[in-house]
């Protein structure tokens, strides 16, 4: 079964004496807008929630259900968020690594080993291993991928209420045709990553046909 295979890394580490193994993953490297969000998840050895897998392989409804069950059964869940201005300042790779490090720092109890999705380790003084496609190979990383994805999607749904012109409720900031068309028509909003191709160099028109929602509030509309 897939669930049994996903425990292989955790079981190998437990055999070496590690007891608090956290999976770490991020969501949001590719979008043109919004933060990169990371999650660190510390599961108990008897975690038995079925269906946990790479978040990209799951429907949104299934992710939402698993998100709640992971939070209910995990020993600890940590979240790290790096917003667009800092992404522009330090680049998306370093922003993702920082978000993951912040997510690990938020864990209580402190893990004694980290399994990190991707090919880079992070700036935490803990034993750690980077796993390419770890969200499909480790139960802990898979759980972190679900938590990070759902947490970020919910943030983008909230942002849609402030910036409805861009359709964040539909594409969550990813570079769809509709999103790129909205950027070209209205110019970027404060959530956009100004260093990303498709945003860089795009200026707002002198008169946008519709103001952003926060501008309506600011002007008493």
Instruction: Assess whether 175 and 155 both reside in one domain.
Output: no
Query: pLDDT digit string (tens) for 98-121?
Result: 999 999 999 999 999 999 999 999
For residue 37, give both structure tokens.
Answer: 């969000």
Domain count, the chain: 2
- CATH number of domain containing 122: 3.30.420.10
Could you tell me the pTM of the whole model? 0.90
Task: Please name which of 41, 9, 47, 36 lies closest in space to residue 24, comparing C-alpha atoms.
Answer: 41
Instruction: Assess whether 30 and 135 both reside in one domain.
Output: yes
Instruction: Assess whether 16 and 101 both reside in one domain.
Output: yes
- Residues above pLDDT 90, as percent of the chain: 85
* Domain final residue, candidates 140, 159, 178: 159
Instruction: Assess whether 154 and 171 both reside in one domain.
Output: no
Instruction: Assess whether 11 and 100 both reside in one domain.
Output: yes
Residue 53: pLDDT band by 50, 70, 90 thresholds? Answer: confident
Q: What angle do CA 191, 192, 193 make, to 5 degrees?
A: 120
User: SS3 helix, strand, coil % of the chain, rounded to 5?
Assistant: 45, 15, 40
Instruction: Assess whether 8 and 28 both reside in one domain.
Output: yes
* DSSP 3-state of 64: helix
Instruction: Assess whether 105 and 78 both reside in one domain.
Output: yes
Beta-sheet strand order (sheet of 113-117):
76-82, 36-42, 21-27, 113-117, 128-131
204 vs 179, more confident: 179
Instruction: Assess whether 135 and 189 both reside in one domain.
Output: no
Instruction: Assess whether 21 and 55 both reside in one domain.
Output: yes
Query: pLDDT digit string (tens) for 5-49?
Result: 899 999 999 999 999 999 999 999 999 999 999 999 999 999 989
Q: Which residues are CB-contacts of 86 (< 8 A; sequence separation ≥ 6)?
A: 95, 98
**54 annotated binding-site participant:** no
* Domain final residue, candidates 114, 134, 159: 159
**Domain limits at 174?**
164-218
**25 annotated binding-site participant:** yes
* DSSP 3-state of 212: coil
Rounded average pLDDT over 173-180: 97
Instruction: Assess whether 204 and 190 both reside in one domain.
Output: yes
* Domain final residue, candidates 126, 159, 192: 159
Instruction: Assess whether 38 and 91 both reside in one domain.
Output: yes
Instruction: Assess whether 82 and 180 both reside in one domain.
Output: no
* DSSP 3-state of 188: coil
């Amino acid at each position: 079964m897939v669930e049994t295979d996903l425990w292989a890394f955790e079981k190998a580490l437990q055999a070496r004496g590690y007891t608090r193994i956290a999976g770490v993953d991020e969501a949001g490297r590719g979008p043109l807008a919004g933060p990169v969000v990371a999650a660190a998840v510390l599961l108990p050895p008897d975690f038995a929630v079925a269906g946990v897998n790479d978040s990209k392989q799951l429907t949104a409804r299934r992710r939402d259900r698993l998100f709640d069950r992971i939070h209910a059964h995990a020993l600890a869940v940590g979240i790290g968020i790096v917003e667009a201005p800092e992404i522009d300042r330090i680049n998306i790779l370093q922003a993702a690594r920082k978000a993951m490090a912040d997510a690990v720092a938020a864990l209580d109890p402190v893990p004694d080993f980290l399994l990190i999705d991707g090919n880079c380790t992070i700036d935490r003084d803990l034993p750690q291993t980077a796993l390419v496609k770890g969200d499909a190979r480790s139960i802990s990383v898979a759980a972190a991928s679900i938590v990070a994805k759902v947490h970020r999607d919910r943030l983008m749904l909230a942002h849609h209420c402030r910036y409805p012109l861009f359709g964040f409720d539909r594409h969550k900031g990813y570079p769809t045709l509709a999103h790129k068309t909205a950027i070209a028509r209205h110019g970027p909003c404060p959530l956009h990553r100004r260093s990303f191709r498709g945003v860089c160099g795009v200026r707002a028109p002198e008169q946008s046909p519709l103001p952003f929602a926060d501008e309506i509030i600011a002007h008493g509309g």
